[in-house]
Amino acid sequence: MKKKFIAGAGVTILIGVLFIFPVQVFTVSREGTVIDAFIYRDQINFSVQWKHSVEKEIWEEFFSIEGNDITMNSTRFKTFGAGVPSSAGTDTYVKDGWVYMVGINREIGEELAIRTGKDTNYQMKYHNDRLKLDAQTSYHIQTDKVSFSKAIFLMMR
């Protein structure tokens, strides 16, 4: 009887973890279809990099996610040019050939929309992973709380 109770409790806990226990995920969708997903706790960082369509130089923006909120923290680029402000955030400086603007801390919300250009070579970086984004395509980076089983399903796509 005791073994049946323990087995039943184990199954109940497993079901609870898989289908009820919520986890935080951020997903990358291409035109409405999830193409990548990541589970995170508390906070994560990622960046989006592309080649400026006029200046033809690399530009990279750095983001963090705390809870379900995406925030743009800083940016870096090679040269000032079309549409580039002379400063943003709390500090602007040059290091190793890059112009850095830090302390921007602009709240984006739960979703970041990206539309890639023809020759802009967009990519997203998360930890040591790089996700190349197709040209002339719409992407959405979103945060959400979902069941552990749904998170696993999203990550297996």
Q: Are 71 and 32 in contact (CB under 8 A)?
A: no
Q: Is the per-residue pLDDT at 88 higher than 70?
A: yes
Tell me the pTM.
Answer: 0.81
More confident residue, 27 or 53: 27
Q: How confident is the model at residue 128 (pLDDT cuts 50, 70, 90)?
A: confident
Give the per-residue pLDDT at 1. Answer: 52
Higher pLDDT, 69 or 83: 69
